[in-house]
Chains A and B, each alone.
Chain A
Amino acid sequence: VHPNVSQGCQGGCATCSDYNGCLSCKPRLFFVLERIGMKQIGVCLSSCPSGYYGTRYPDINKCAKCKADCDTCFTRNFCTKCKSGFYLHSGKCLEKCPDGLEANNHTMECTSIVH
């Protein structure tokens, strides 16, 4: 192991360095690069930061960005909470609800029209 890499690390890190934070994570955690000023440090999380979604693979767990109109998502194409100004419907963020549905401005979702 490289001399600057220490084993005694915080939180979910498996290996880390003073300058770069986590270099690798304990199993089943998500490795994320956080920007602090000009520096990027590695952190290991049990869930991806807001605006990102996680995908688990046998050898690595990755975080990737949701779409621009989405705050939190299940996958890139399936949003679970839209950004303000958009209504959520079946995983999509819409500026206007489809015909047959009405916009609920409290939940910011498209809901069935209640007669």
Chain B
Amino acid sequence: AEPGAAPSCPAQCHCEEDGIVLSVDCSELGLTAVPTNLSPLTAYLDLSMNNISQLQPSAFRHLRFLEELRLSGNQISSIPGEAFSGLYSLKILMLQNNQLSRIPAEALRDLPNLQSLRLDANLISVVPEQSFEGLLSLRHLWLDDNALTEIPVRALNHLPALQAMTLALNQIWHIPDFAFQNLSSLVVLHLHNNRIQSLGANGFDGLHNLETLDLNYNELLEFPGAIRTLGRLQELGFHNNNIKAIPENAFVGNPLLQTIHFYDNPIQFVGQSAFQYLPKLHTLSLNGATDIREFPDLKGTTSLEVLTLTRAGIHLLPRGMCQQLPSLRVLELSHNKIEDLPSFHRCQRLEELGLQHNRIHEIRADTFVQLLALRSIDLSWNAIHFIHPNAFVTLHSLTKLDLTDNQLATLPLDGLGGLTHLKLQGNPALAEPFAKESFPKMRVLEVPYAYQCCAYGSCSGFFKVSNQWEAEDMSPEDEDLHKRTLEFFPGHADNHYDLDADDLQLDLEESKLHPTIQCSPSPGPFKPCDHLFESW
């Protein structure tokens, strides 16, 4: 029905028939009160984003079919006790973005079928004990972005059907023991962006079905040991807290954990057994835990695909590491003190290996043997002086190799034919020129000396320009050649790379001249390939 056309559609509102019931949208009309001539057959009523500050006591009494009532985005600061009486079919009540300072307990008393209650973005600091007593069907409760300073423990004792709740963005500082003891159906609990400093040892008792717990952006000083009772926990977050240690057997009570986010904590110590027996865990990131001296024992954590363990004090990788991690795809161990590498050959699915900024001095024949999926190796900033001639032979998928800043005098080429990115700068003894045929797919090449770039382009044309340096005398052919040559050496490649950026770079190049190789350092007036003459 068009706005206002049918008598049961309030002026300016938009009404739509859905079978015998009606959907009424009166949002954003500047209304200051609930329309009075609402059809008894209204099942959906949207009064959001208006200027309603008060609800008449029985404004909705005749709406027996009403299932969803939206009053969000108004200026409601209090709700009379009978405001919602008669709404026996109501399932969804939206009161977010109003001015409520306490839970309208009286008004919520008689809503037996209410499933979703939104009270977020109000000013609620008081939650009376009987606030939710009548809400036996309530499943989803939003209380985030309010002014709560404590967990409303007593009020939460009357919600047997509650499955998802957010108390985020409040000023809660402590979780007492048994705070959620009757919430046996709760699956999701968000407590992020509070001021939680302490947590009772039995703080999460009773949450038998909890799968997601979000404690991010709080002030926890200790590891939340209370999680040990959460046997069904799958997602845990406590990043951006003040936790310094992850104890031994930290997650012994949570065998179903799939993700743990705990970055941006000043973690110094991690128990050797902390991450054992987590067969569903697929990502583990530990950065800057300087007290970690040994590689963690990951027995029973067999699904790990991404392991990031950077800026710690690890100096040795256990021989049996790959047996424990058969699913590993990404291993990032940069900024440790690793000197000697084991053979990674049992890490059969390994795709990316980051070992930069360690103390590695040699690569043996078996170090990377049979890693058929390995695409990228970063060994920059080590002390590698020897690479076995067969070290790369079986790496059929290798496209990126970074050996910047090592002590190489030669580079074995067998197995490197598929490289698109090779970085060798900072190896002063590596003076050999490379043949173009060695790297048929090369796109980005960084080499110790400019003359080594000449193998990839018509340096003769370049020399004519560089000898004369009078751009004005260039003939049209020279100019075209000059432009193509400059494009050939556009300057230093970005020495920080990641997969996506480079793929984009590849596409851009494909659309330009076919195929150009970005080689650096590019010969120029101050690097006139002088070495070139010495070595010829």
Given the complex of chains A and B, what is the CA–CA distance between A29 and B96 in angstroms?
Answer: 10
CB contacts (< 8 Å) of B115 on chain A: these are: 80
Q: Let me know if B144 and A46 touch, CB within 8 A.
A: no
B interface: dominant SS: loop
Given known pairs A11-B49, A56-B169, A91-B163, the reply for A47 and B96 (CB within 8 Å) is yes
Q: Let me know if B164 and A29 touch, CB within 8 A.
A: no
Q: Is B367 an interface residue (CB 8 A)?
A: no
Q: Is B239 an interface residue (CB 8 A)?
A: no
Q: Is A12 an interface residue (CB 8 A)?
A: yes
Given known pairs A46-B72, A56-B168, the reply for A77 and B49 (CB within 8 Å) is no
A interface: dominant SS: loop
Interface residues of B, count at CB 8 A: 32
Contact with A along B137-180 (1 / 0, CB 8 A): 00110001100000000000000000110101100000000000
Q: Is B193 an interface residue (CB 8 A)?
A: yes
Which residue from A28, A57, A58, A80 sits with its C-beta under 8 Å from B116? A80
Which residue from B72, B163, B211, B235 sits with its C-beta under 8 Å from A47? B72
Contact with A along B103-133 (1 / 0, CB 8 A): 0000000000001101011000000000000
Q: Is A4 an interface residue (CB 8 A)?
A: no
B residues 40-85 near A (Cβ < 8 Å) are: 48-49, 70, 72-73
CB contacts (< 8 Å) of B139 on chain A: these are: 80
Q: Let me know if A47 and B188 touch, CB within 8 A.
A: no
CB distance from B109 to the nearest CB of A (A): 23
CB distance from A16 to the nearest CB of B (A): 14
Given known pairs A29-B97, A46-B72, A56-B120, the reply for A77 and B212 (CB within 8 Å) is yes
Q: Is A17 an interface residue (CB 8 A)?
A: no
Q: Is A75 an interface residue (CB 8 A)?
A: yes
Q: Could you list which residues of chain B lie within 8 angstroms of chain A, going by C-beta atoms?
A: 28, 48-49, 70, 72-73, 94, 96-97, 115-116, 118, 120-121, 139-140, 144-145, 163-164, 166, 168-169, 185, 187-188, 190, 193, 209, 211-212, 235
- 14 residue pairs A–B, Cβ–Cβ below 8 Å: A12-B73, A45-B49, A47-B70, A47-B72, A47-B94, A56-B145, A56-B193, A58-B169, A75-B212, A77-B212, A90-B163, A90-B187, A90-B209, A91-B188
Nearest first, the 10 A-B pairs at minimum CB distance are: A46-B73, A46-B72, A46-B97, A28-B121, A74-B164, A78-B188, A56-B145, A91-B187, A78-B164, A56-B144
